[in-house]
Amino acid sequence: MAEQGVLVGIDLGGTNVRAGVVSQSGELLHWEEQPIEAQRGPESGLATIAVLVENVVEQAHQPVLSLGIGSTGPLDRERGCIQNPYTLPGWEDVDIVTPLRERFNVPVALENDADAAALGEAWAGAGRGAASIVMLTIGTGVGFAWIRNGEIHRGVGGEHPEGGHILIDPAGPECYCGARGCLESLVAGPAIARFAQQAASGKRSPFLESAAEAIEAIEARHVFEGARQGDPACLELVDQTAVHIARGLASIMMMILPEVIVLTGGVLRSYGLMEERIRTELERVDVIIPARQVKLQLSQTGQQAGILGAARAAQLLLQEAL
């Protein structure tokens, strides 16, 4: 029988940090959120996180066994450091594990946020019971993670693979990853927004031209809204997005053929508009692999996936130590 007590999961993003108390069977008991105010620097951020954890621990009324962090990367997991000046300005080589371990006197795990979310979904969401789960997050960027037999798949040197940047269209837009037409450059929210802004500048969409105050203010959500209202240019953009997502899913299926692909993120809130087209495209993949058997499922834990997965990482750390 497992030791009495709870796990704490921390989900650190570029804007907010969330912390929650999770039971050993994967039930989120209580959680809270705070702005991280990254521009105030890592010292202030670490203090915010410590206070937030103290607050949730106080609500737990049970001993905390271990603590996990799912953080926006890049990270150095070995050394417990965050190396992310991109979305956390000033956070270069910041040790987040040691201060939390010293303050709370429990083991502390650190994982990439995409890995943590997938771990959460595999433990307590749409991937429960499946041996191989891929999670694809399409929002501001495209996140990818693969959980095999309950554990995170790690690349060489323990690094996190970036499946969101697989090549889809070599003639597509440039991406900061160095490629043209990778999945993220075609289907992430900002990419859809750029296509929509081009359509509006070219006077191809009456809906988009009047959707926002300025052309630069047009966002991906306007495209989905326009499609719901039957705007032809928006429908075309949604169709294009669905085809690109389907190509990404097809590549993932060809390489991994997981039991479940969990879909999440802001863009996939409009999955209903794209589902039919995605499924039709995927039928073509069915020739050489049983793609139809791969379950495509929307996330069941939603925004709590990160907290749950960080807590699961904390639990796995305890089991490793046994």
Distance in angstroms (rounded) separating the CA atoms of residues 203 and 208: 9
- SS3 label, residue 103: helix
Task: Count CA within 13 A, CB hemisphere, residue 279.
Answer: 12
CB 308 within 8 A of CB 118: no
Torsion sign (Cα): 232, 185, 36, 110 = positive
Where residue 44 falls (left for φ over 0; alpha for ψ -120 to 50; beta otherwise) is alpha
Residue 53's H or E segment, with its range, is: helix 42-60
Task: Name the minimum Å distance from CB 167 to Zn ion.
Answer: 9
Binding status of residue 318 toward Zn ion by CB under 5 A: no
Distance in angstroms (rounded) separating the CA atoms of residues 73 and 78: 14
- SS3 label, residue 101: helix
Complex with Zn ion: residue 34 or 240, whichever CB lies closer: 240
The interface mask with Zn ion, positions 160-179, x = CB under 5 A, is: -----x---------x-x--
Complex with Zn ion: residue 124 or 250, whichever CB lies closer: 250
CB 90 within 8 A of CB 41: yes
Task: Name the minimum Å distance from CB 169 to Zn ion.
Answer: 12
Task: Name the minimum Å distance from CB 266 to Zn ion.
Answer: 18
Complex with Zn ion: residue 121 or 184, whichever CB lies closer: 184
Tokens of 166: 């697989």
What residue has token string 């554990």?
151
Among 182, 234, 267, 317, binds Zn ion (CB under 5 A): 182
Cβ atoms within 10 Å, residue 268: 20
Binding status of residue 46 toward Zn ion by CB under 5 A: no
Task: Name the minimum Å distance from CB 88 to Zn ion.
Answer: 20
Distance in angstroms (rounded) separating the CA atoms of residues 140 and 193: 11
Task: Name the minimum Å distance from CB 239 to Zn ion.
Answer: 22
Complex with Zn ion: residue 64 or 182, whichever CB lies closer: 182
Size of the site for Zn ion (CB under 5 A): 5
The interface mask with Zn ion, positions 126-165, x = CB under 5 A, is: ---------------------------------------x
Binding status of residue 184 toward Zn ion by CB under 5 A: yes
Complex with Zn ion: residue 103 or 194, whichever CB lies closer: 194
Task: Name the minimum Å distance from CB 185 to Zn ion.
Answer: 5
Task: Name the minimum Å distance from CB 179 to Zn ion.
Answer: 5
Q: Which span (37-45, 71-79, 183-191, 230-238) binds Zn ion, by CB under 5 A?
A: 183-191
Strand order in the sheet with 28-35: 28-35, 16-22, 6-12, 64-71, 108-112
Complex with Zn ion: residue 111 or 162, whichever CB lies closer: 162
- Site for Zn ion, rule CB under 5 A: 165, 175, 177, 182, 184
